[in-house]
Amino acid sequence: MVTHIASILTGFILDAVFGDPHFFPHPVRAIGWLINRLENGIRTLFPGTEKGELAGGAVFAVLVPAVTALAAALLLAAAKAAGDAVLFFAESVLVYFLLAARSLRDESMKVYHSLKKGDVEEARYNVSMIVGRDTSVLDEAGIARAAVETVAENTSDGVIAPLFFLALGGPVLGWAYKAVNTMDSMVGYKNEKYLFFGRAAARFDDLVNFIPARLSAVLMIGAALIGRMDFQNAVRIFRRDRFNHKSPNSAQTEAVCAGALCIRLAGDAWYFGELCKKPFIGDDIRPVEQDDIKKANRLMYTASGLALFLALAWQEVMVLY
């Protein structure tokens, strides 16, 4: 437990300082490779019918996080056999690669800096790197809005949810969560290829994020209070708009962010040449501005700090009892 406490803190600091260096292969790439291999293999074992794809997708949704967790457990077992110092190093690195606060900040701030210097085309390109929608139709406000939404939504997926599972089950459970999250991002689509095969993965992702998304929203409300943003409006919009998304989890933090910043997020968006109708989140009190990207990042980092405190406090409780 003492090692867990030290490794969680160290990993958080490493992420805050270094982010995700592009020259170093991220372990999520290995999960992506595993997902592709398992998908191809499982599809050959099950018929291409609706029932066959549903069954194959269910097996796939269990195997991906199970294999990932096993790999993390074996790595930590080998590290433990080599000594406490090696175990601490291994756990810290695994925690470091689980968190994405610095990466989220860096990528969203690229959009901010492009808008700041008036290069809209560059801003469109930069925001296209972090969102799935068609960015060619976005004006400056739309670009800033997309970046803010990404920061708000991924505060949970990229930082607080991993900390939640690290606190409960260490890097093994943390990486099992990361596998579920990565799996959903790769196959959790309602298109012809994944409508049935990816359904279990999408539902699994909804399930594991149910509590973390709501915890993230509460912590973000606390961050709004600490950061002297509109705390009351954050609570109001959260209560009203937290389900204004097809996912039961995604609008939780987006609603808080929209309320705290007194802006309107979400709404209709273009994907692959088709207009997707979406409800709004928040009130159109004022236009979305480039500085809102910086404010969203402040919310994200403050909420992440609160989550870190809770994770470390929980580990202390486990040590004592």
pLDDT (0 to 100) of residue 158: 94
Residues 269-287 have a mean pLDDT of: 80
pLDDT digits (tens, 9 = 90+) for 120-149: 999 999 998 888 777 778 889 999 999 999
Tokens of 174: 């943390």
pLDDT of residue 270: 63
Rounded Cα–Cα distance for residues 122 and 106 (Å): 15
For residue 43 the two structure tokens come to 């599809």
Quick: pLDDT tens for 282-303: 999 999 999 999 999 999 999 9
Domain span at residue 198 reads: 2-320
Mean pLDDT of 165-185: 95
pLDDT at residue 3 is higher than 80: no
Strand partners, 281: 265
Q: Could you report the per-residue pLDDT of 14-72, keeping only the tens digit for each?
A: 999 998 877 778 899 999 999 999 999 999 999 989 999 999 999 999 999 999 999 99
Q: How far apart are the first and last CA of the chain?
A: 11
Average pLDDT for the chain? 92
Instruction: List, in order, residues 6 or more apart from 174 with CB less than 8 Å away.
Output: 72, 94, 95, 98, 162, 165, 166
CA dihedral 113, 157, 299, 262 (to 10 degrees): 90
What's the rounded mean pLDDT across residues 227-239?
95
Average pLDDT over residues 144-155: 94
Tokens found for residue 171: 């890097």
- Residue 186 has a CB neighbour count (10 Å cut-off) of 17
Residue 189: pLDDT above 70? yes
Q: How many Cβ atoms are within 10 Å of 278's Cβ, its own excluded?
A: 15
pLDDT at 1: 63
Q: Specify the length of the chain in residues.
A: 321
Chain segment 65-117, per-residue pLDDT in tens: 999 999 999 999 999 999 999 999 999 999 999 999 999 999 999 999 999 99
- pLDDT at residue 203 above 90? yes
Comparing C-alpha atoms, which of 9, 64, 80 is closest to residue 310?
9
Residue 196, pLDDT > 80, answer yes
Residue identified by tokens 């056999």 is 81
Mean pLDDT within 178-190: 90
CB of 194 within 8 A of CB of 79? Answer: no
Domain count, the chain: 1
3-state secondary structure the chain: CHHHHHHHHHHHHHHHHHCCCCCCCCHHHHHHHHHHHHHHHHHHHCCCCHHHHHHHHHHHHHHHHHHHHHHHHHHHHHHHHHCHHHHHHHHHHHHHHHCCHHHHHHHHHHHHHHHHCCCHHHHHHHHHCCCCCCCCCCCHHHHHHHHHHHHHHHHHHHHHHHHHHHHHHHHHHHHHHHHHHHHHHHHCCCCCCCCCCCHHHHHHHHHHCHHHHHHHHHHHHHHHHHCCCCHHHHHHHHHHHCCCCCCCCHHHHHHHHHHHHCCCEECCEEECCEEECCCEECCCCCCCCCHHHHHHHHHHHHHHHHHHHHHHHHHHHHHHC
